[in-house]
Every structure is written in structure tokens, then in C-alpha cells.
Amino acid sequence: MIRGIRGAITVDRNDAEEIVAATETLLREMIRANDVAAADVSFVLISVTDDITAAFPAQALRRLDGWTYVPVMCTREIPVPGSLPRCIRVMMTVATEKQQEEICHVYLKGAVVLRPDLSLTKKTEM
């Protein structure tokens, strides 16, 4: 079964190293919380708010051992009322035997769900 794992994190500044480091932290926590192997990942989508311009956050994926060939796409979000400033969001599609309600979505450093969480899954907060 293919399942989606969502996550988000905010950064304090539009700084290249902070953006890539925060993205790496988020990816590592998503991987850890769901016991994900690179071979089981179909695709990673990283979106950033329009106020993040200093770095390409997908670089963080290439820092992870064994994740060099995982397909990744990075996009910029269209601002909407109520959007968090300097927010990085990740959607990872993974082949897993877990049911959707067993998936742990990860929201770090004040980040929140962009839309209501229909799966009623648990969250990891730091």
C-alpha cells in the first residue's frame, strides 16, 4: 500500500543553512517516526512559502545516506490568508503495510496542518 506522510517546520530566518538544516531535521524525524527506508519511498514533495528564497530545501534529502536517488520535487506555495511565515512542508509517499491511521505526521517548531487532518493520526511535536 502507498501511504502519504506529511510534515512541516518553520524557520526563523530566510537563511540558506537554516533552511536546509531545518528541512533535514524534518525529514529525519519523519523517517524515524515511521521507520521509513529509502527503497520504500516513491516520491518526496517539498513546498515552501513564498518568503523562503535563500536556499533549495531539497538539498537536505541528498544529505541522507542512501537517499541520493529518491525522486524529489520542490515547489513554492501561493500565499493564502492564515499561512505560516517561513514554512517548509513535506509530503512523502511510502510503500508500507501500515494503515493510514498508524502513520505519524510530523509538525515541528510551531508548524501546523495546512488543511484539516482527515486521517485523525497522531502528531509528533518538538
Residues forming the active site: 6, 62, 74, 77, 89, 107, 115
Q: Does the annotation flag 28 for ligand binding? A: no
Instruction: Work out the burial of residue 71: count CB atoms within 10 Å of its CB; fewer than 13 is exposed, 13-18 middle, 19 or more buried.
Output: exposed
**Cβ count near 32 (within 10 Å):** 12
Q: Does the annotation flag 69 for ligand binding? A: no
Q: Does the annotation flag 13 for ligand binding? A: no
- Angle at Cα 117 formed by Cα 114 and Cα 119, nearest 5°? 150
Annotated binding site for prephenate: 6, 89, 107
Annotated binding site: 6, 89, 107
